[in-house]
Structure 1
Amino acid sequence: MRIKKAIAAAGAASVLMLGLAACASDTTGGSGGEGGGGGGKAVTIGIKFDQPGVGFKEGSTYTGFDVDVANYVAKELGYTDVTFKEAKSADRETLIESGQVDMIFASYTINEERQQKVSFAGPYLVAGQDLLVRSDDSSITGPESLNGKKLCSVTGSTSAQNVKKDFAGKVQLQNYDSYSKCLPAVLSGNIDALTTDDDILAGYAAQPQYKGKLKVVGKPFTEEPYGVGIKKGDTALCKKIDTAITKMIDSGDWKKALDKNFGDANYTPDASKNPPKPIACS
């Protein structure tokens, strides 16, 4: 009886060890590990869900320029199973720091404040901050004309705060938790303008329900280099992402993705800055 019990215990231990080994194998691709990412099966990528042309979720389908760049990079890094997770502006650093995502492609401008918490690869696009207003509103011609006006401010984004600080100290900031919720307010007149990057605004204005009713002012007043957010200090992963982005640009696939996602919006990024040269790795 003791012999049988010993054999059974040994067998159970073997099954347990095999199970643990299998689990370890399944997770090697998720976070990139210490070796800088790639070569695994699964990866979780943060994107926006409510920015047509940039990052947009409809049912179980994900579209947009950020999505196309993310899929290209993931494939180049050897990932075969990509899971997209919503990355709202206010949540992006937390998602990276907590390990809920491995990379973020979410109209994520590289700046010094964010670099204190996360690292960036890229940039893969240089956009510019602009204004979205009603098509019949001729009173707003740029950020300086916003004094006394109501401007949509989105939690976690610095766009509206920058307007108040640098251009129109008397602008009234109205807080919302996403850009998509600002759009009906602009259309109804409860908000006078929405500000964020020009590619995002162009995507909104091109939506069927807003076409002809909303317009982009067309005078960008900042430079917004979009980076790929990753865990702080992961330079190995950063370099691999930069290599993949460079390959996408050189192959012509970057331009194809741009035309595919912004053709209907008549949006063309500043040719003097695009396509950019990925140099972040910081």
Structure 2
Amino acid sequence: MNATRTGRATVRTGRATVAVAAAVVLSFTSAGFANGATGAVPRDHGEDEITVGIKYDQPGIGLKTPDGTYTGFDVDVATYIAKELGHDPSDIVWKEAKSADRETLLQRGDVDFIAASYSINDERAKKVDFAGPYLLAHQDVLIRADDDSIKQPSDLNNKKLCSVTGSTSAQNVKDKIAPDAQLQEYGGYSECLTGLENGVIDALTTDDSILAGYAAQSQFKDKFKLAGFKMSNENYGIGVQKGSELKAKINTALEKMVADGSWDAAVKKNFGPANYQNEPAPEIGVVVK
């Protein structure tokens, strides 16, 4: 082959290599945008974006609505924090953080921080760091608004008590408070609510903040009430990677949120319809045992 043909072949080969490389880059870029549409954006996203883990299925706390928007107290708290970190709401990429996945999401770097009814405890603190707490919740029960038979925790004896499959809340009641309670485990809280509404069960138990969020839905207006038993302390924290400098920055943001009244406004907005008697904003860095 002469020099001219060799040169042309080299050019063609070079162009082919560039084309393949471009296709690979385009493929990864397209995948990034596709993931972004579902909220699962890789951690090497745009420099202005911030990825936040929330619950998708807890009304009043963290809920992805059918139209693709996000609502709830944790969403409002996370949006405020993101603003204080220099991000507009449009910069936030929301990612579902199921209870069993939260530590993994943080350790793997899939999210920048998590606000997902994430109770601070010693076991979790071995794996991740927590800013906050930003809300003190309690285990409680939700009952029908016209039910006057459950006035104290021991009244749950011989009552049908519902929680979701795998939850420790109902078992805690049976083990420590009302040993004769009849446990009913359903697949989700919505199923428990339907059973409560229809009289198939007598009480639903989990964190009072979660119960208030469900009861605040328009379709359940005036149908349920919180018993106000405060059977445990649940300190909700913002989860970050172990050793992350975000912890201090988020604590500063939370302090500002409380001081300027935004925290109270978010509580009223998300829990007010259920007459939720929330605790005052907790002191940052102080976990109530």
Could you give the per-residue CA deviations for residues 173-193 of structure 1, whole angstroms, max 9, x where no partner exists? 222333222110111222221
Query: 1:178-257 to 2 correspondence within 5 Å?
Result: 178-231=188-241, 233-257=242-266
Change (3 A) 1:2 1:253: farther
What is the CA distance between 1:155 and its match in structure 2? Answer: 4.1
1:56 maps to which residue? 63
Greater displacement, 132-141 / 47-56:
47-56
1:106 aligns with 2:116: yes
What is the CA distance between 1:69 and its match in structure 2? Answer: 0.6
Indicate the structure (1 or 2) with the bigger Cα radius of gyration: 2
Which among 16, 26, 50 is matched to residue 43 of structure 1?
50
2:273 maps to which residue? 264
Change (3 A) 1:230 1:8: farther
2:38 maps to which residue? none
* Aligned-partner residue type, residue 216 of structure 1: L
Cα distance between partner residues in 1 of 2:83 and 2:253: 9
Which is richer in helix? Answer: 2
What is the CA distance between 1:220 and its match in structure 2? Answer: 1.8
What is the CA distance between 1:218 and its match in structure 2? Answer: 2.1
Could you give the per-residue CA deviations for residues 221-274 of structure 1, whole angstroms, max 9, x where no partner exists? 32211111233x133222222222222222322222222222333224123xx2
Change (3 A) 1:235 1:101: closer
Change (3 A) 1:39 1:167: farther
Greater displacement, 162-171 / 68-77:
162-171
What is the CA distance between 1:200 and its match in structure 2? Answer: 2.1
What SS class does the counterpart of residue 204 from structure 1 fall into? helix
* Alignment coverage as a number of residue pairs: 268
Structure 2, unaligned runs of 5 or more: 34-40
Contact 1:121 1:229 in 2 (8 A): yes
* Aligned-partner residue type, residue 113 of structure 1: E
Contact 2:138 2:208 in 1 (8 A): yes
1:70 maps to which residue? 78
Cα distance between partner residues in 2 of 1:263 and 1:230: 29
What is the CA distance between 1:83 and its match in structure 2? Answer: 2.4
Contact 1:131 1:142 in 2 (8 A): no
What is the CA distance between 1:151 and its match in structure 2? Answer: 1.7
1:2 maps to which residue? 6
Could you give the per-residue CA deviations for residues 122-145 of structure 1, whole angstroms, max 9, x where no partner exists? 111112221101122222223222
Cα distance between partner residues in 1 of 2:104 and 2:183: 25
Change (3 A) 1:5 1:107: same
Cα distance between partner residues in 2 of 1:222 and 1:192: 20
Which among 170, 175, 178 is matched to residue 168 of structure 1?
178
Contact 1:88 1:178 in 2 (8 A): no
% identical aligned pairs: 53
After superposition, the CA RMSD in angstroms is 3.2
Could you give the per-residue CA deviations for residues 90-140 of structure 1, whole angstroms, max 9, x where no partner exists? 443444445544432111111123334433221111122211011222222
Cα distance between partner residues in 2 of 1:191 and 1:97: 39
Could you give the per-residue CA deviations for residues 182-208 of structure 1, whole angstroms, max 9, x where no partner exists? 110111222221112222222222322
What is the CA distance between 1:45 and its match in structure 2? Answer: 2.3
* Structure-2-length-normalised TM-score: 0.78
Structure 1, unaligned runs of 5 or more: none
Change (3 A) 1:6 1:19: same
Contact 2:43 2:111 in 1 (8 A): no
Contact 2:170 2:205 in 1 (8 A): yes
